[in-house]
Structure 1
Amino acid sequence: MRYRVEELASRCDLSVDTIRYYQSLGLLDAPEREGRAAWYDDGHVATLGRIRDLKAQGFTLAMVKRALAGELDAGEEALAAAIQRPAAEGADLAPIGPMDLPELSEHTGVSLTVLESVARQGILIPSTEEDIPYGAEDVDAVRAGQALLDSGVPISELLALAREHDAAIGGIADQAVDLFARFVRDPIRAQVDDEDEAARRMVEALQTMLPAATEIIAHTFRRRLLTAARERLEADEAAQA
């Protein structure tokens, strides 16, 4: 079968602009040219289906490109999917799909201007580089921030606190990833010859590590926060005595 770009877009339920965007990124081969006519075939249909499947797993377009080029082995592809869509057992998240900033504003009731300002400062971190990079977790985070604002915390002070936290936690995240690579991923690769079995073990280890590392860090922060609050109250009481 051969298709013009409009027919390919209809067949794959995509816009013509999306197809041309994928071509510009090198994800989709150029069509066959006959004079001024451009023809696509079933190979293009299959590639677009593969792109859809990978994006549904949470792959960024950069990772999609590597997967299409055969640059990811089974273990790397499984890890990439697990990283993009980590297991969140027990998470109390609303059933909200991917959204852009205007949709995030609509879900949270926080003005788009405020969200754009927060995003520009690198505090509202998108999950991917796509144009629908936010999800239920971001709704919860924005609502939590709004609760602090409603309690009287100035937005400038809240943003400053968030920036300091982001700067501090970035190094910890890098260390955690390095630990996983050195002591989990690399030994599994060295010890397990079967790619599918290695991929399964790596994903299981990652899904164990993510919530464990998150809980350790959250527990430490909660304990530090409560300790600091208690010490502040005791210092205020001593000053008033």
Structure 2
Amino acid sequence: MEDLARHSGATVRTIRAYQDRGLLPRPGRRGRANLYDDSHLTRLRQISALLERGYTLASIKELLAAWDEGRGLSGVLGLVSEVERPWSEEVPERLSLDELDGLFGKGSARSEDAVAEAVELGVLVPLPERPGEFLVPSPQELAVAAELHRAGVPLLALTGHLRELRAQVEHIAARFMDFTGQHIFGRCPQSGPTDEEASEAAGLVRRLRPLAKQTVDAELARAMRTFASRSLREHLRQGAYGAEGEGGGGGGGQGVGQPGAGIAEAADSTETSASDEAAGSAEAADNAPVTEPVLLPAGTLASVRALVGAEQAAAFIASAAEREVHARTMDRLAAGS
């Protein structure tokens, strides 16, 4: 074994470990002596070359098993390389603590809890040979976090959100693999693939690789539009009907007495309510719609009057409420389909 170690450049301990893992065949025997030949030396060189290319020992064991079964390594190596190469075109960067401070604000990088969370999540990878510096596998992800932090999101809230997001994205990835495995790769032979079959599978992976990202991008865009619009409508509705204690136009207003009202009345005693205006014009009609006074902040009513005029204020408020009711009805119907 010492001679094999000397010729291969591997240590005796490493050779024993490879034998225990099934990567290196056991030596032949001559009496009580172990015999190693050129096949052992070749295998050690193969393992070393694959390790340099980034393969794990588990992957190397599978590749060498394919080689031993006579299936060739070129196709299998191409398949493994296609699957295990980065699924992003991003180039990792190095950042120091001072540079992190520049991104997130002075003192941010000195937050031990936030840095520890980022390291645990793999957003930052410490460089042992350069204390105080980190490898950033995804500069885009870090840039998004920095922008959100500048907008007011606390650092630990960002890492908590990333944990939740990562779990959901990993679920999506697992479902995509199950889907393609069932309908595409399930047709591949269950036993080890031949060199030609492995090359064909690598081509499939190459074509399918961008489809996963494109599908998620399209669905995320759709969902963001739906929920952003819904959130905005809810925010505007609360601002219009739920504000309490806010005044305007020279007098203090009162909050909405009952949420969801459509026709409003200002609490300011100096202003005529929108419902009174609507009722005044409706009294002359035989089939007048039934109106109900609901309190509305005086400032809101003043803004509506400034926008459409006092005569159209009631109709404008009623129309806005009807549109909101219609939109929420459509949302419920869409969610139930």
Q: For structure 2, which runs of at least 5 residues remain unmatched after alignment? A: 101-108, 125-133, 241-337
CA change 1:95–1:39 in 2 (3 A) is: farther
Question: What's the secondary structure of 2:200's corresponding residue?
Answer: helix
TM-score (norm 2): 0.48
Q: C-alpha separation between the residues in 2 aligned to 1:188 and 1:200?
A: 12
Task: Please tell me the residue identity of whatever aligns with 1:187.
Answer: R
Contact 2:2 2:12 in 1 (8 A): no
Deviation at 1:226, TM superposition (A): 3.8
Cross-structure match for 2:312: none
Cross-structure match for 1:225: 224
What do you get for the CA RMSD once the two structures are aligned?
4.4
Cross-structure match for 2:64: 68
Cross-structure match for 1:141: 141
Equivalences for residues 157-196 of structure 1 within 5 A: 157-189=157-189, 195-196=194-195
- Structure 1, residues 48-78: CA drift from partner, whole Å, max 9, x if none? 3322332344422211122233489666554
- Structure 1, residues 84-132: CA drift from partner, whole Å, max 9, x if none? 11575xx3x3377xxxxxx6778x8467974543453xx4389xxxxxx
Q: Which has the higher helix share?
A: 1
Cross-structure match for 1:100: none
CA change 1:157–1:60 in 2 (3 A) is: same
Q: Say which one has the larger Rg.
A: 2
Deviation at 1:151, TM superposition (A): 3.4
Q: C-alpha separation between the residues in 2 aligned to 1:149 and 1:27?
A: 48
Greater length-normalized contact order (CA 8 Å, ≥ 6 residues apart): 1
Q: C-alpha separation between the residues in 1 aligned to 2:19 and 2:152?
A: 50
TM-score (norm 1): 0.63
Structure 2 counterpart of 1:94, from 83, 86, 91? 91
Task: Please tell me the residue identity of whatever aligns with 2:219.
Answer: T
Deviation at 1:216, TM superposition (A): 0.7
Cross-structure match for 1:203: 202
* Fraction of identical pairs, as percent: 26
- Structure 1, residues 155-201: CA drift from partner, whole Å, max 9, x if none? 222222222222222332222112222222232449xxx92332222
Equivalences for residues 27-106 of structure 1 within 5 A: 27-28=23-24, 42-70=38-66, 77-85=77-85, 91=89, 93-94=90-91
CA change 1:117–1:213 in 2 (3 A) is: same
Which region of structure 1 is more displaced relative to structure 2, 203-212 or 155-164? Answer: 155-164
Contact 1:57 1:84 in 2 (8 A): no
Contact 1:3 1:39 in 2 (8 A): no
Aligned residues: 212
